[in-house]
Every structure is written in structure tokens, then in C-alpha cells.
């Protein structure tokens, strides 16, 4: 398996990504919240991650070599990076992480 599958290969504009998401149900994979502690899970719910995609505008969107999309949302002291996999009728949020700055 190629270890470089998360490499960014193309920046996507917001309008194009909105078209990709059009009429798709946004869900959260079981894996997405695995790295959170029990205390964090009480504070950070699946709806919060889904609402980020539905209501906020990402600063950057990239297509990765593995076919997934990485989205970067500006928060107060960090950027929230979401990884989304597009399937036939849904968009699945696979993972997220807080990062200090946008990739160049």
C-alpha cells in the first residue's frame, strides 16, 4: 500500500465541492470519533461535525491521492481539518484533526 495516499493532488473551489455534495446525505463514520476520550465525546458530537460541513465555509479544499477530500475550517486558535469520502448517495466524514495552520 502506498503511504502517500493522503497527499494533496488538486485544490478544489468551493462551488465545485458544493456540487459534489449536492443531494448527498452527510454522515460520520464510526472511526471518526474513535480518538476522542469519553469526556470529549460528551462535548463533541456527530452533529457538530456535520453542522460544520453544512453551515461553515472551508478556507481550503483539496482532493487527495486516495480520492478523499480534505477540508480546512478556520477556528479561533487552530484550523479544523476534515477528511470526507464521497460515496454514491452520501458523504462520509472519515476523520478530523485540529492543526495549527493551513497547508501551503
On whether residue 3 sits in a domain, the answer given is no
Q: Percentage of the chain with pLDDT > 70?
A: 86
Bridge-based pairing state of the strands 90-99 and 69-74? unpaired
CB 22 within 8 A of CB 30: no
CB 82 within 8 A of CB 92: no
Give the domain range for residue 90.
8-99
Q: For position 64, what pLDDT does the model report?
A: 97
For 59, 63, 95, the CA distances from 101, given in Å and listed in that order, are 11, 18, 18
Summarize the confidence of residues 91-97 as an average pLDDT. Answer: 92
Domain count along the chain: 1
pTM of the shown model: 0.87
Report the CATH number at residue 63.
Answer: 3.30.2310
Q: For position 39, what pLDDT does the model report?
A: 65
Q: pLDDT (tens digit, 9 = 90+) per residue, 56-83?
A: 999 999 999 999 999 999 999 999 999 9
d(CA 102, CA 14): 16
Return the number of other C-beta atoms located less than 10 Å from residue 14's C-beta.
13
Regarding predicted confidence, which is higher, 47 or 26? 26
Number of Cα atoms under 13 Å in the Cβ half of residue 90: 9
On whether residue 16 sits in a domain, the answer given is yes
Amino acid at each position: 500500500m502506498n503511504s502517500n495516499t493522503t497527499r494533496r493532488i488538486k485544490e478544489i473551489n468551493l462551488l465545485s465541492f458544493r456540487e459534489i455534495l449536492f443531494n448527498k446525505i452527510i454522515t460520520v463514520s464510526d472511526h471518526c470519533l474513535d480518538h476522542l476520550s469519553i469526556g470529549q465525546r460528551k462535548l463533541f458530537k456527530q452533529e457538530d461535525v456535520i453542522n460544520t460541513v453544512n453551515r461553515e465555509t472551508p478556507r481550503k479544499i483539496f482532493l487527495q491521492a486516495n480520492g478523499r477530500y480534505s477540508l480546512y475550517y478556520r477556528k479561533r486558535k487552530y484550523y479544523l481539518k476534515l477528511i470526507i469520502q464521497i460515496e454514491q448517495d452520501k458523504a462520509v466524514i472519515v476523520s478530523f484533526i485540529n492543526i495549527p495552520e493551513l497547508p501551503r
